[in-house]
Amino acid sequence: MPELYSAEVGQQILDNYQEAEIPEVHKELFHWAELFTQRSWDMSAQDLQRLHTYGLTDANIVGWAQAACLQTWFTMGAEGGGVPLDSDAGMQPVFQKPREFYTQAPEGLTAAEPKRPNFHAPDSAEAVAWVATDGDSEEYQQAAAWAEARYGFVPNLLQALSLPPEFFRRHTLALELLERPQTESLSPRQHAMVRALVSTLTRCQYSADTTRRLVASACAEPGLYERLTEDYRQREWAPVDRVILDFATKVARNAYKVTEDDAQRFHEVGLDDEAYVDVLNTVAIQTSFDRLANSLGVRPDPRPLLPRV
Amino acid sequence: MAHIRIVNEDEAQGQLAEDYAYLSRSYSNMVGSEVTTPNVYRTHSIVPAYFRLGTVTNRVLTNDGRFDRPSWQQGPAPEFLVNFAVALHSSCYY
């Protein structure tokens, strides 16, 4: 990362970014990222309008949202995998605190308890999101053709990401990976359960219909979606399902609290490391897309986002 | 030690080996000296499809290793600052 701040200002940001000696627009960025990370369901069109007053364009804001989406995946991968810091990759720890500071922190250091969906529809009946779209770029045209062939329509989420367009090749790959488990260790039923649970935790109306239909198509188990989305902790589950759901919840809410005990619990119910990585990535991709949709006010698609074949 | 089994570059084959080599080159270009692939990518190494997503993500962020995406450092609040801010608000140790 280019050097923007002195060490002293960097410490001020870590202590309280609102009081740090940084430009006001940077404080707005930190506030926006805080909402994106911790309460994306509370974001509104007014949040974006306030950013416009600082000279930020819709393209800037969509760029922020896409960068935040990618960083969410990286962060969950790092914390979920428990990988050590790099000694030779030119990366330094930012917070200067041991991992135990996070894993032993009180529950809810960054995440709040979900209560209800909180969707703010775009102002215009025709708008797909709170931001402008641009269908002219070559990258968008390629992504739209890919989506038409795969889903039979162009999802509102892809349309909302057309400013700027360079992230499409990553997003289309991530959407493909999200369609089904990537290992033999995780069943389609378990994969669908994880996606439905995560979209409840993120209170993402954009994904709700898709994950409901995915659960229904993955298994003929009446009431499963409701059991997942109406506080699964109060219901009876097979031990293997409970381990997966508890882990998915921890990653989606507090990835910094994951420890090696979580991987051990997978092993105790007969799941392997491949299943662990499959669940971790399903949570990370679903969460990052849900936050992206919440932050840009993307209107739900007319039908579920599932491949035609 | 990671929480799970890792396939490092000395064991990697096929696409995984190519992805490791690309990421090492990309970060070496960024820091100006030869470095190995950062550990954040290694979590996904036992499921190469997810490791591939990390490689494509790096390609997008760096414009295929050229580090010349204009929006990365421009604007009243540059995009790269978002990555730091999200990590901050995620309480990310790494």
Mutation site, A13, A170, A258, interface B, largest B CB count within 10 A: A170
- pLDDT band at A185; cut points 50, 70, 90: very high
Flag whether pLDDT at B88 surpasses 60: yes
Residue A37 at interface with chain B, using a CB cutoff of 8 Å: yes
Mean pLDDT of A155-179: 94
Rounded to whole angstroms, the Cα distance separating A122 from A300 reads: 11
Rounded to whole angstroms, the Cα distance separating A113 from A268 reads: 28
Using an 8 Å CB-CB cutoff, list chain A residues near B93. Answer: 78-79, 93, 95, 97-99, 101-102, 256
pLDDT one-digit tens code per residue, A84-99 = 777 655 455 555 566 6
pLDDT at A107: 56
Q: Do B71 and A60 touch (CB under 8 A)?
A: yes
Q: Which residues contact residue A95 at a Cβ distance below 8 angstroms, ignoring those fewer than 6 apart?
A: A14, A101, B88, B91, B92, B93
Residue A99 at interface with chain B, using a CB cutoff of 8 Å: yes
Flag whether pLDDT at A200 surpasses 90: yes
Q: What is the identity of the amino acid at A186?
A: L
Least confident of A36-50, A105-119, A265-279: A105-119
Residue A88 at interface with chain B, using a CB cutoff of 8 Å: yes
Q: Do B37 and A170 touch (CB under 8 A)?
A: no
Using an 8 Å CB-CB cutoff, list chain B residues near A34. Answer: 85, 89
Q: Do A56 and B80 touch (CB under 8 A)?
A: no
- pLDDT band at A114; cut points 50, 70, 90: very low
Rounded to whole angstroms, the Cα distance separating A140 from A18 reads: 37
Rounded to whole angstroms, the Cα distance separating B76 from A131 reads: 18
Rounded to whole angstroms, the Cα distance separating B23 from B36 reads: 8
In total, the C-beta contacts within 8 angstroms joining chain A to chain B are 224
Q: Do A77 and B44 touch (CB under 8 A)?
A: yes
Nearest to A90 among B27, B47, B90 (CB): B27
Flag whether pLDDT at A289 surpasses 90: yes
pLDDT at A124: 72
pLDDT at A199: 94
pLDDT at A243: 98
Q: What ipTM score was computed for the predicted complex, to two decimals?
A: 0.94
Q: What are phi and psi of B75, to 5 degrees?
A: 95, 165
Radius of gyration for the alpha carbons in chain A, expressed in angstroms and rounded: 20
Using an 8 Å CB-CB cutoff, list chain A residues near B47. Answer: 182-183, 274, 277-278, 281
Helix A260-268 and helix A273-296, axial crossing angle in degrees, nearest 10: 120
Using an 8 Å CB-CB cutoff, list chain B residues near A167. Answer: 60
pLDDT one-digit tens code per residue, A48-61 = 999 999 999 999 99
Flag whether pLDDT at B30 surpasses 60: yes
Using an 8 Å CB-CB cutoff, list chain A residues near B61. Answer: 67, 70
What single string gives the DSSP state of each residue in A31-90? Answer: HHHHHHHH-GGG--HHHHHHHHTTT--HHHHHHHHHHHHHHHHHHHHHHHHTPPPPSSSS
> What's the mean pLDDT when you consider all of chain A?
88
Neighbours of A126 (CB within 10 A): 6
Least confident of A28-32, A125-129, A232-236: A125-129
Q: Do A102 and B91 touch (CB under 8 A)?
A: yes
Nearest to B80 among A2, A26, A164 (CB): A2
Using an 8 Å CB-CB cutoff, list chain A residues near B30. Answer: 90
Q: How many CA atoms lie within 13 A of A279 on its CB side?
A: 34
pLDDT at B94: 67
Contact between residue B88 and residue A37 where contact means Cβ atoms under 8 Å apart: no
pLDDT at A116: 44
- Is this structure's pTM higher than 0.80? yes
pLDDT one-digit tens code per residue, B32-48 = 899 999 999 999 999 99
User: Which chain B residue has its CA at the smallest distance from A251's CA?
Assistant: B90
